[in-house]
Structure 1
């Protein structure tokens, strides 16, 4: 059966081109923004840039034009770095957005083709089916048992029945197909659709901050408040000492600059956006950046069977007819009763099949039918998949009024509504068990007769003649055993949630070495449990059979109630509620319905479960690297703050060892490390053998925060020890300043290397493949050399060229103040062994 039956040829290629030139593309323009201008506005609002502007203004007012020009240059550099990071993030997100644009089915040149939604043009013949989101407006020209959910436009959640013969035969963009299928002629696209006119574009949706964003934002706010209070304190102290307003203001601004951790928000955005982009390159399309931060916490994965654990390559392998009372292989010569069974199963399928089982039935019919009757019949009524256990029924008629009524579904669905005797029912159940134990997917098949057009409201109201069972084999994916072992090593529980019967699910689970395959429960049994009982049951149950939407949703909610972070895979309309409820909803990119993809937070392009293991590994890596970056920021900011504050507050010999120019120079040297070098760090080898990190309200554990503070204090001790050493040696202020500055530069280099892992030694981490680390360290060393040995730079920053002994003292202090942590890591490794 093809689209020829509907008498629809669709547009030709030339007509498509002409329509596109006349009416444009099927896109919603939304709110137009100048992204560069918006980015510049954002930069000008940054506290660090505001401080730099104020400082440069003070320098110019006081006549210090050199420092003023340097500050303006620093503003341009800070702005350029921010724009570069923002552009990287935006490019990554734009690529993601283009991948999340769905496809639709159209009839063109008399053929059914799949095209991106935006390529749809006015005049196109658009085919929509159950589970899809409608991409354009237009009237129905052909439909079968068609209904739509228009809640996005009307707010009404109930589905509305529509067909070509009704006065309301229009369907609209953004609504979803609740049942059946239809063909429409597109009359409005893009902004001209009803959805486009009322302005409900994706760009207008405001997303709220994630827990991690809030944690980081709170941390930065606290640091900013501390900066303001310290700024006021230092300004007050210095003003009452010198009564020099501008000089005391500059000293206070120096400290404020050193306190403000402006790199943290930039690092967070960069890590999340680039993480999403890296996942996209792996075939995992993340719809929202917040999913990236959740991935590393996943503790439970609920997966369906077909197409996820198995290849979704259905082949019709065996049939059982009640008349012959035997199971036959389709490789053998089939009896007439068995051919009739396959024919009835084909009529119970969609006329244009897309489900692998239905495709297999159509192919089997094509091989065994002496005459293809499909072109002679038209579907007159359809009952979509429904009921518990589920089934579906189709009614066809030819030109002479001869009618075919055929149904297929779970074999158990026919027990109460067919002509089966007690003995027949027992035979059916026995053969279901036999075939199920071999891992076959089973469908019962029945036919019925009905005169007139006043069809029953429910398909179960027909009285069926049970024809038999068709059995399909869907082989497991070749890599699935390895994938399950990887999840087990990572401390992640996998639960099988399927619509198949218990015997089939257990057989496949056993075949793929699925742990605890014998611990199962059916959907009906599950619904009998109270919420408290279910919470206990889901802890020790791993196979869930004969599942339906309400049962799936209860499973997800019960697992969540146990404080687990749950991921759920799905592809059908009935998976939508559970996908949306899960912390991480995972839709199949190939076989997933549009509703499933919309409900999910990420899509697997190749329907490969191993990609979830990769995604979780990526999530853990991104989170770990972000932590390293922020710990680095905290550790390196503490010595800058204290090196500025302590000599000033205690009135040491050289109280203003660093000016704003020195602080911003340190910021420029150290800034790229956290957001560029650490983002590119590879995953540590023990990442996927650790238990999932708990999804807590705090970003850092107490020990981690203490580690960063102690590291910062150790570097401070190193810098101030060199300060006192220089004073004791009667070195002048420029030598002292240069030596202290070099301590911080060396400490920064060593800290970058040491903090690449808080467990493995620096010798191990030097082998990590991250080409950016040597580049950034090389640039840092070159900049330090320029500051020491290029006279104009040396003079401008009030440095001096150090001799070999002075350089070695700075290098030694910078190294010792950081490398001590290697002994802590060694102790941890020995303790673990």
Structure 2
């Protein structure tokens, strides 16, 4: 057993070298049962595909007939196609593996004296975990710092009540060995359990299979293997085509054998037709394009936890986003202070009680505001994580550094946390001198006013100050203080005798890229709804900066909205909804209101679920952001739940299908753009696959029925697969988005991949290609030998195949426009296809294998010309393709 944990400093965590050694000694922090497909498993799955079974059967048949060269070539093609599949699937698996690493529970640990967020699988014994409310604990650990810590251990015990945890002294925790299944002390935190209250530090004692949850044999985490609607749709289509292939192959076998008496040739023709009709590429495409799309999203700081969410991203019609940290920078700075008029005199009846702070020019803080800053710090944690509390500490360090108002030697005795009923928190401190305890409270102004039991005149005075600050887009918090004798702490904060101190206004600047992202969202037909706990006036100020639709505020002295607490602000605007309004509305009324709302202010996290449900009832496809424990139900209920990667809790991340690694709204819009691109490329690829199999199947069947010589043998089909496989996956996956991708309205979420005319147009493309190949075959038969006619028909078939690739690159744009769009993979595939075609036509021993006679060059030129004719025919279909119905939601 490694003694890495004994080498670490008790409160500074491991060094990077120690962590690397521990990871090498003990392995990653993951449980048995997590499946990772290796190349051998991929090869085994690939060889079990019906297409390969048919290729192998044809090769065995040739060998049985004594045609060693033909059989070996077919087996060689099996290896080539297998290698190509291994490359594609391996690339996909690497992308999925990187997503697995990202989607494992994240952990904040001290490494080299710095708090660093890592994947949960990289946590090692001896690591020092930094834990906050809502975190999923990544490994068994001992709590060494923390107050009021509670965990939900129902995953292990089935007991729903939270369990209190008590911190061990640092040295004792540092020297405590792993539990090894023995009775756990009250300071032990278990892997997989949830921190539901408090925050603290914990030393890791056991990881992976050695943790308590690993010991009892439970497995957690990993990507869930869901069957997406597209895969269900494709499975049904492939099943139908498989039955058609079996029936058609059997029919061709009987017809060929009966008409020509060549039952061996009939068997080869039947195998070729079955290969032509079995579009095994569908399953490849549905794996490769979404998985690589998810990998591309991760490069834009958007993690897709469920691949199926990519289908829905492009269909999103409403984005519900948090204000703080998502639209704004989550970089709080105190810019304004307000204290009541306690120093007014006859000489100065209008005492200035509001101060605007500019850290660059404000050199001194007036005495009237010292107490306000002092108690804002006392009401915060000593080592804050929250940006607001960091701003209070920064303010105190800047202006009160050498005064008696900073109390680093006081002892925290009791805390009262925020609750849905009272949006305020309080800390009870034991001062260095005196018997009385000092109580500091901070929170929403209306909650602080409520705690202080102020009269109506004082409330109106404070309300006006709140409204003035909020109108500037500031987040406003109130501060109060009290004194308390004795040790019997009241059950609720209302039992303290609080006195109001003042207000602090915090600025959180809008992210620079937000206005442009909102413009893009609106152009794409996506409505953006901002959800915040701030005042309506504050929310409206930020919304106007962001470019969200707002209107004038409605003020009235009657029927005041208590949630606003802004001089009797009554919210009757169609674009604004407050939490109190929401709680009074029925579900039906809320659905009606949410058709026009762009701002939801003073909303509690628990109310987000009703907002999501109302929008869904209106037929919207909803993406909802969230970061807290209480956001999880809304994230799970939304079509696309979007959790915050930096400030979000593990509970929120687990409930969401998408995680923003940089917490930025602009990344959501980029994800929608990429989601639309991925769906477009899937549609293009599927259309190509369906279209290209029509001429191949037709040329395997029709010549026999028309009494012509056989045109396609299994070797020809295998050659065509070398072009089709990389084209349908890698070429179309690399296609950039259409120019109008963010100018279309969202598609309907239940739109099938082949909606409206798309399916018919794919068949029309295929029938057009088939008609050209048939015409070329008939023309060549009058002038060429049978082998040369076959070579000519095959060359035309390859050229029409390439024409289908070029035509399907863009569903609406012209060919010339698409040629200017770079796609390196396209030109590699086209070059390889033409090079292999020339080898098959003009290398004598290869030509004999393909049963070709020498093809005059003018016929090769004619084949290329027919390919261009095919492109022209496809271009005429594009205006109809643009109008294929059923793809967009109503505007």
TM superposition score normalised by structure 1: 0.93
- The 5-angstrom pairing of residues 5-154 of structure 1 reads 9=11, 13=15, 26-31=29-34, 35-106=38-109, 117-154=120-157
Task: Measure, in 1, the Cα distance between the counterparts of 2:19 and 2:260.
Answer: 79
Structure 2 partner of 1:711 = 765
Residue pair 1:711, 1:818 contacting (<8 A) in 2 also:
no
Shift of residue 695 of structure 1?
A: 1.0
Q: Aligned in 2, Cα 1:363/1:206: closer, same or farther, shift over 3 Å?
A: closer
Q: Aligned in 2, Cα 1:774/1:119: closer, same or farther, shift over 3 Å?
A: closer
Please give the secondary structure, in 2, of the residue aligned with 1:234.
helix
Q: Which of 735, 740, 744 matches 2:788?
A: 735
Structure 2 partner of 1:329 = 356
Task: Measure, in 2, the Cα distance between the counterparts of 1:813 and 1:11.
Answer: 70
Residue pair 1:284, 1:615 contacting (<8 A) in 2 also:
yes
Structure 1 gaps of 5+ residues are 1-6
Task: Measure, in 2, the Cα distance between the counterparts of 1:830 and 1:604.
Answer: 34
Q: Which of 850, 854, 861 matches 1:797?
A: 850
Residue pair 1:105, 1:115 contacting (<8 A) in 2 also:
yes
Q: Does 1:248 align with 2:266?
A: yes
Q: Aligned in 2, Cα 1:243/1:154: closer, same or farther, shift over 3 Å?
A: farther
- The 5-angstrom pairing of residues 223-262 of structure 1 reads 223-241=241-259, 245-262=263-280
Please give the secondary structure, in 2, of the residue aligned with 1:415.
helix
Residue pair 1:144, 1:381 contacting (<8 A) in 2 also:
no
- The 5-angstrom pairing of residues 481-560 of structure 1 reads 481-516=515-550, 519-560=575-616
Q: Which of 768, 777, 792 matches 2:830?
A: 777
Q: Which of 188, 193, 205 matches 1:187?
A: 205
Q: Does 1:619 align with 2:653?
A: no
Structure 1 partner of 2:176 = none
Q: Does 1:812 align with 2:830?
A: no
Please give the secondary structure, in 1, of the residue aligned with 2:451.
coil
Q: Is 170-179 or 15-24 further displaced after alignment?
A: 15-24
Shift of residue 122 of structure 1?
A: 3.3
Q: Aligned in 2, Cα 1:507/1:206: closer, same or farther, shift over 3 Å?
A: closer
Please give the secondary structure, in 2, of the residue aligned with 1:683.
coil
Q: Which of 323, 334, 358 matches 1:316?
A: 334
Measured against aligned partners, the alpha-carbon deviations of 1:142-201 in whole angstroms (never above 9, x if no partner) come to: 432221222332344443333349963322111121111233333222221112223433
Residue pair 2:153, 2:160 contacting (<8 A) in 1 also:
yes
Structure 2 partner of 1:470 = 504
Q: Which of 397, 420, 426 matches 1:366?
A: 397
Task: Measure, in 1, the Cα distance between the counterparts of 2:124 and 2:733.
Answer: 42
Shift of residue 240 of structure 1?
A: 3.8
Residue pair 1:437, 1:504 contacting (<8 A) in 2 also:
yes
Structure 1 partner of 2:780 = 726
Measured against aligned partners, the alpha-carbon deviations of 1:610-629 in whole angstroms (never above 9, x if no partner) come to: 22221111111111111111
Q: Which of 819, 822, 845 matches 1:766?
A: 819
Q: Does 1:609 align with 2:636?
A: no
Shift of residue 372 of structure 1?
A: 6.5
Q: Aligned in 2, Cα 1:72/1:15: closer, same or farther, shift over 3 Å?
A: closer
Shift of residue 776 of structure 1?
A: 1.5
Task: Measure, in 2, the Cα distance between the counterparts of 1:108 and 1:761.
Answer: 55
Structure 2 gaps of 5+ residues are 1-8, 169-183, 343-350, 553-574, 885-891
Q: Does 1:747 align with 2:780?
A: no
Q: Aligned in 2, Cα 1:110/1:81: closer, same or farther, shift over 3 Å?
A: closer
Structure 1 partner of 2:429 = 396
Structure 2 partner of 1:579 = 635
Shift of residue 258 of structure 1?
A: 0.4
Task: Measure, in 2, the Cα distance between the counterparts of 1:12 and 1:779.
Answer: 52
Q: Aligned in 2, Cα 1:120/1:72: closer, same or farther, shift over 3 Å?
A: closer
Residue pair 1:436, 1:442 contacting (<8 A) in 2 also:
yes
Number of equivalences: 823
Please give the secondary structure, in 1, of the residue aligned with 2:722.
helix
Task: Measure, in 1, the Cα distance between the counterparts of 2:831 and 2:43.
Answer: 30
Q: Which of 421, 427, 435 matches 2:461?
A: 427
Shift of residue 245 of structure 1?
A: 4.7
Task: Measure, in 1, the Cα distance between the counterparts of 2:617 and 2:521.
Answer: 22
Q: Which of 688, 700, 704 matches 1:632?
A: 688
- The 5-angstrom pairing of residues 434-449 of structure 1 reads 434-449=468-483
Task: Measure, in 1, the Cα distance between the counterparts of 2:605 and 2:287.
Answer: 36
Task: Measure, in 2, the Cα distance between the counterparts of 1:746 and 1:450.
Answer: 89
Q: RMSD in angstroms over aligned alpha carbons?
A: 2.7
Task: Measure, in 2, the Cα distance between the counterparts of 1:18 and 1:790.
Answer: 58
Shift of residue 120 of structure 1?
A: 4.0
Task: Measure, in 1, the Cα distance between the counterparts of 2:683 and 2:25.
Answer: 53
Measured against aligned partners, the alpha-carbon deviations of 1:96-122 in whole angstroms (never above 9, x if no partner) come to: 233344553456788766665445443
- The 5-angstrom pairing of residues 209-224 of structure 1 reads 209-224=227-242
Please give the secondary structure, in 1, of the residue aligned with 2:79.
helix
Task: Measure, in 2, the Cα distance between the counterparts of 1:690 and 1:714.
Answer: 30
Q: Does 1:163 align with 2:205?
A: no
Residue pair 1:315, 1:360 contacting (<8 A) in 2 also:
yes
Residue pair 1:8, 1:107 contacting (<8 A) in 2 also:
no
Task: Measure, in 2, the Cα distance between the counterparts of 1:529 and 1:787.
Answer: 73
Shift of residue 436 of structure 1?
A: 0.9
Q: Is 339-348 or 100-109 further displaced after alignment?
A: 100-109
Please give the secondary structure, in 1, of the residue aligned with 2:272.
helix
Q: Is 285-294 or 530-539 further displaced after alignment?
A: 285-294
Q: Is 68-77 or 110-119 further displaced after alignment?
A: 110-119
Shift of residue 385 of structure 1?
A: 2.1
Structure 1 partner of 2:369 = 338
Structure 1 partner of 2:734 = 680
Please give the secondary structure, in 1, of the residue aligned with 2:822.
coil
Q: Aligned in 2, Cα 1:12/1:374: closer, same or farther, shift over 3 Å?
A: farther
Q: Aligned in 2, Cα 1:516/1:221: closer, same or farther, shift over 3 Å?
A: farther
Shift of residue 266 of structure 1?
A: 0.9
Shift of residue 792 of structure 1?
A: 0.9
Structure 2 partner of 1:822 = 875
Shift of residue 669 of structure 1?
A: 2.7
Task: Measure, in 1, the Cα distance between the counterparts of 2:159 and 2:239.
Answer: 42
Please give the secondary structure, in 2, of the residue aligned with 1:788.
helix
Shift of residue 733 of structure 1?
A: 1.6
Structure 1 partner of 2:319 = 301
Residue pair 1:383, 1:394 contacting (<8 A) in 2 also:
yes
Task: Measure, in 1, the Cα distance between the counterparts of 2:194 and 2:476.
Answer: 30
Residue pair 1:180, 1:382 contacting (<8 A) in 2 also:
no
Q: Is 149-158 or 66-75 further displaced after alignment?
A: 149-158
Structure 2 partner of 1:356 = 387
Please give the secondary structure, in 2, of the residue aligned with 1:385.
coil
Task: Measure, in 2, the Cα distance between the counterparts of 1:696 and 1:112.
Answer: 44
Residue pair 1:144, 1:182 contacting (<8 A) in 2 also:
yes
Residue pair 1:517, 1:543 contacting (<8 A) in 2 also:
no
Residue pair 1:569, 1:586 contacting (<8 A) in 2 also:
yes
Q: Aligned in 2, Cα 1:248/1:695: closer, same or farther, shift over 3 Å?
A: same
Q: Does 1:756 align with 2:756?
A: no
